[in-house]
Homo-oligomer: A and B are copies of this chain.
Amino acid sequence: MNTHQAFLDAIAITLPELSVKTDSESCTHWGRDWTVHFQSNCQAVLFPKTTEEVATIVRLANEHRTPLVPSGGRTGLSAAAVAAQGEVVVSFDKMNNIGKFYAADRIVEVEAGVVTKALQEFAESQDLYYAVDFASSGSSQIGGNIGTNAGGIKVIRYGMTRNQILGLTVVTGKGDVLNLNGGMLKNATGYDLRHLFIGAEGTLGFVTKALIKLEKPPVNLTAMVLGVPDFDSIVALLDKFGKALTLTAFEFFDQIAVDKVIDAGHTKAPFDSQTPFYVLLEFEAVSDEVLETAMAVFESAAEAGLIVDGVMSQSIAQLQELWKLRECISETISVFTPYKNDISVLISHLGDFIADIEAVVKENYPDFEICWFGHIGDGNLHLNILKPATLSKEEFFAKCQTVNAFVFETVKKYHGSISAEHGVGMTKKPYLHYSRSPEEIAYMKAIKAAFDPNGIINSGKIFD
């Protein structure tokens, strides 16, 4: 007998057409995301097709006090979409329609289950551009992107998911359907509840639809890869290039990352010189004059000793080849079962932050190899510590727990974020206090109580 049988019986009566799965394979499949540390204990999976069905599910769940967990593309990295506590999962797989397109506004209405890549392709079909892009865009769903306010590689130019969301339809934890902001760029009529739902990791209610702003497509994207002598040079280059060009990306990685990517055969070295750090920057070369400006900045920066060596893409093929240096890092280092962390601090503090972490790791774990890369133009670092071959996975991760505490202490020292773009979910819940004060957490809980007084929707995520 299912723990939530009475609820499921009510669902069967009220929504007889609703697709429901209760077999253990389905419960495992839809009951978890990409995180490995939490197991699914999902009791059933529901597949609504409309906002009204979602609202009915939430109202019945309130009557039966049945806890619900949202499920999108299940690509999350913080266990925000894991049904670990015996919840019923609400999957958005059957709400994947791309709806009305408002050409004059460049706004399209999509259901929460639309896959990121499908939206990117729709935008292309309209000679427009959906600016949010990241490794999992082939699987991740828009609803999940909104829940974590997904970022990715173009944030420096287009902002986070938040910046593209001009309207939301949500079903709150109380079962109310709210149509928030209606697609408007300007709307000064009280609290912007839309922004409260973006990044709430599904804890206030379910996002069922969104009105999404599309952008003018970028023109003649051109990349430079620069070898730089030290971390401070990266920050100086960001300032110089950032003032001269409208950058569409500004990424960095270290020599360790480059070595691993090249050893794995993904691409070749960008040039002969080897340097501690590399920058990959990208801009729209809309004219020869812009290219000349880029070259002039390059030359003056090289003269000033900020650049040791560099290369600029001359074609789309070269652009893609240069991007491999950055995009293949995660996959390449995954064989070293790395300890990973996704943090952010002000760009002004990045140099000191990295030095602090390096010093402690080198002192206490001299055999640990740190691989740094990330969206430096956004202050977002991906810290990866590679497992030495001499250590077992268990020994390594045990030691990394000590490192973890130090990393978060250092984040706190620089007033940074313990989660730049992956969310809190369950994996970072114990560490939330490093980035948010007790008062902030208390207000978050009060807001949760206002939207979901019975704690029906994704409770136990972000905070207890």
Decide yes or no whether A235 CB sits under 8 A from chain B.
Answer: yes
Residues of chain A at interface, number, CB under 8 A: 89
CB distance from A125 to the nearest CB of B (A): 14
Cβ contact within 8 Å between A432 and B190: yes
Decide yes or no whether A288 CB sits under 8 A from chain B.
Answer: yes
Cβ contact within 8 Å between B379 and A188: no
Complex interface: chain B residues within 8 A of A437 (CB): 178-179
Decide yes or no whether A327 CB sits under 8 A from chain B.
Answer: no
Complex interface: chain B residues within 8 A of A417 (CB): 182, 184, 186-189
Decide yes or no whether A207 CB sits under 8 A from chain B.
Answer: no
Which of B190, B415, B450, B451 has a CB less than 8 Å from the CB of A424? B190
Complex interface: chain B residues within 8 A of A191 (CB): 196, 199-200, 204, 444, 447
What are 24 A-to-B residue pairs whose CB atoms are below 8 Å?
A104-B348, A105-B346, A156-B185, A159-B163, A160-B185, A176-B443, A178-B440, A182-B346, A182-B415, A183-B346, A184-B417, A186-B378, A187-B435, A188-B417, A189-B419, A191-B196, A191-B204, A192-B199, A193-B440, A193-B443, A287-B287, A287-B288, A446-B450, A447-B450
Across the A-B interface, the 3 shortest Cβ-Cβ residue pairs:
A195-B195, A287-B287, A287-B289
Besides A188-B419, A192-B198, 13 more A-B contacts (Cβ < 8 Å) are A104-B235, A104-B347, A160-B186, A176-B443, A180-B440, A185-B380, A191-B200, A192-B199, A286-B286, A286-B289, A286-B290, A287-B287, A450-B450
Chain A residues engaging chain B, CB cutoff 8 angstroms: 102-107, 127, 148-149, 151, 155-156, 159-160, 162-163, 172, 176-180, 182-193, 195-196, 198-201, 204, 216, 235, 238-239, 242-243, 246, 286-290, 344-348, 350, 375, 378-380, 415-424, 428, 432, 435-437, 439-441, 443-444, 446-447, 450-451, 462-463
